Chains A and B, each alone.
Chain A
């Protein structure tokens, strides 16, 4: 039969266990606002029982371990949605800027094109009017300016995105270095049978940040996590990290991304901030630019052809009105009026100074199909439609991915988040248990006292 000493030692164990459990609560409370922190619980176990004379006696309590509460699957989904979220946010931010270039129908290339045709129409009422002729040149130069401004605007956005590439790559490398270090520690602790708790939290939070940068795939191996880009370029294997590199590749002025082995992987990066940056820089902006180029080049060429069929104010055959674009690429940036003398506008269809016959031909271009199959205005309004659609889609993606991230964060938080109410309750539980344990000690102490005094004759 166990004696008072046994009771005392069990009571002490209880005091220690409750103290330990309280320290978990303390730690949880202090980390209530730490991003990525998973709450811990103290695992209390019964100590081994012992038998005496056919009776089994309880052996007290042991504080087994501190266990972090986490759901690995939710964590993986969080990575997935985070890369989607920051990808669409990056795209949306750039697209909002791009939209600004095309937002006002009275301004920009569309407005200038409309005004240019109007100036020709005005001239047709009096083809010898020097002011009206000058007005045509002014409107044409304004059109050229609008083309240039649109191109410059797009290029500014593009080069801003380009500058972000090496910065993002640096951030990725900083994160993978840290993750590899923590990954090694996690494996080491798991090997020793310890719960890597906080370190794993830190690592997971860094992986979440990394997934905001680039699309990664996470594989659990016996050596910890292996992180690769979605197409298999290793970023972290066990405790080793592989730095991505950025630099201008062959035949490109833009920053490309290279794997640690020097393989170019720019086009393979899709998700995360880096993916979004590259997507807008390499797909969206070049596409918009190329449409502007097509419009500028086809318009300039068609206009020149018609212009050459007419006669200027001196009766000479018309020359090029716009500088003929050397190639489609760069036509918008190089869009320029070839003439400075208003008398060189070929308004006349027969060489007589007052004829406006050729202006009608030039004005007809407004509604005529260019080689692209659409009129200049339709080409421009198509461009507005496309830019608008890209912006609207990006916005919808941002809204959707924000919602997903919030839902998953909520779910994750419902598993791993620290609840102050719960911790307060636990605190009271542990405090009460500690008080009771202490009372046992006092009681046993007084029993000892009684026992000691039994032999004393009063």
Chain B
């Protein structure tokens, strides 16, 4: 049987093929990726788009959590100061209700209470990065302004709006309580009670001061109750954060499964390909130069 006398084509193709295998293995090892372009594994490349988006999204959620945690902690810190100020105001109120005070002492207490009032206004106007935390969704201006003609001594210019921020897929966390709900609620009106206490002390009515002090107590209870909202939110963020960090790990390993190279396998492939390449070259070196002419004298 006559065989193809020209082996150069087959030999070259064998050399190219083994070289190509070497290149593939080398590329996998150097990039650490099995899929370097969509055609290497179209399905994996397409799934990587989703994986990448999921991972980006998770990164962003984690950033959101950092931002929100600091916002919520600032708000909680402000409320904690409010609670302290209220404790002080209640003590002053109790002093004020004792009928044995001189007008001068009462005036002293009133001035102290007015100091507390302006401190509370300041706390209710706490802002983070120019955004006021207790103004509802009107966050660009201080929500509370002192107003002596108002029965509560202040005017609230915020609104009752609340915001929710997505911190995980399907989890939108409420991130604020509007000031009117916190400080001027029917269950406890901080500013109203304080103003009333000041007014009754100024007018010298111990009974009215007693009522106002009681109102301050219920405002104290209410605010303390509301602080749970912030505590809960921070707790929820913390647990979401650890969930998301876990998710990041899962996504990374999923990405690695999708497009990552098995380095051990790539190294083995490289060795195999190198051996095959050597063999092809050796065979070429042996076969190509031989000819009948070598044996004719």
Contact = CB atoms under 8 A, between A and B. Distances in A.
Do A and B originate from a single complex? yes
Interface in B101-140: 128-132, 135-140
Contact of A121 (B38, B60, B136, B292): B60
B49 A99 contact: no
A102 B60 CA distance: 23
Interface stretch (A44-52, A108-116, A274-282, A449-457): A108-116
A410 B9 CA distance: 8
A385 interface: yes
A114 B60 CA distance: 10
A413 B63 CA distance: 68
B166 interface: yes
A122 B163 contact: no
A205 interface: no
A395 B39 contact: yes
B274 to A, nearest CB: 21
Nearest to B1: A414
Interface in A372-428: 377-378, 380-382, 384-392, 394-395, 402, 406, 409-411, 413-415, 417-422, 424-425, 428
Contacts of A129: 129-131
A366 B170 CA distance: 12
A415 B2 contact: yes
Nearest to B258: A105
A334 B41 CA distance: 31
Contact of B46 (A127, A353, A382, A420): A382
Contacts of A413: 4-6, 9
B291 A420 contact: yes
Nearest to B53: A114
A382 B38 CA distance: 11
Interface in B30-66: 36-43, 45-53, 56-57, 59-61, 63-64
A86 interface: no
A420 B56 contact: no
A125 B47 contact: no
Interface stretch (A214-222, A296-304, A355-363, A438-446): A355-363
B10 A410 contact: yes
A102 B38 contact: yes
Contacts of B67: 125-126
A122 B57 CA distance: 10
Q: Which of B37, B49, B52 has the most CB of A within 10 A?
A: B49
B37 to A, nearest CB: 5
B69 to A, nearest CB: 10
A420 B293 contact: yes
Contacts of B9: 406, 409-410, 413
A418 B61 contact: no
Contacts of B84: none
Contacts of B175: 125
B161 interface: yes
Interface residues of B, number: 59
A384 B38 contact: yes
B165 interface: yes
Contacts of B64: 121-122, 124-125
B140 A128 contact: yes
Nearest to A399: B17
B82 interface: no
**Which among A121, A122, A367, A421 has the highest number of chain B CB atoms within 10 Å?**
A121
B68 interface: yes
Contacts of A118: 56-57, 59-60
A12 B131 CA distance: 116
Contact of A114 (B52, B68, B131, B135): B52
Contacts of B203: none
A249 interface: no
A434 interface: no
Given A125-B67, A128-B130, A353 B139 contact: yes
B296 interface: yes
A384 B13 CA distance: 31
B172 interface: yes
Contacts of B131: 126, 128-129, 354
Interface string B156-193: 00010101111001001001000000000000000000
Given A113-B53, A381-B49, 19 more contacts: A102-B38, A105-B45, A105-B51, A117-B57, A118-B57, A118-B59, A352-B159, A353-B140, A354-B135, A355-B163, A366-B57, A380-B49, A386-B42, A388-B37, A388-B42, A410-B9, A411-B4, A413-B5, A420-B5
26 contacts: A99-B39, A103-B37, A105-B45, A117-B57, A118-B56, A122-B60, A122-B63, A124-B64, A124-B165, A127-B163, A128-B130, A352-B159, A354-B139, A354-B161, A356-B137, A356-B165, A360-B164, A360-B172, A377-B50, A387-B38, A391-B39, A392-B40, A411-B4, A413-B4, A415-B2, A418-B6
- The 7 tightest CB contacts between A and B, nearest first, are A388-B42, A391-B39, A388-B38, A354-B139, A419-B5, A385-B46, A381-B49
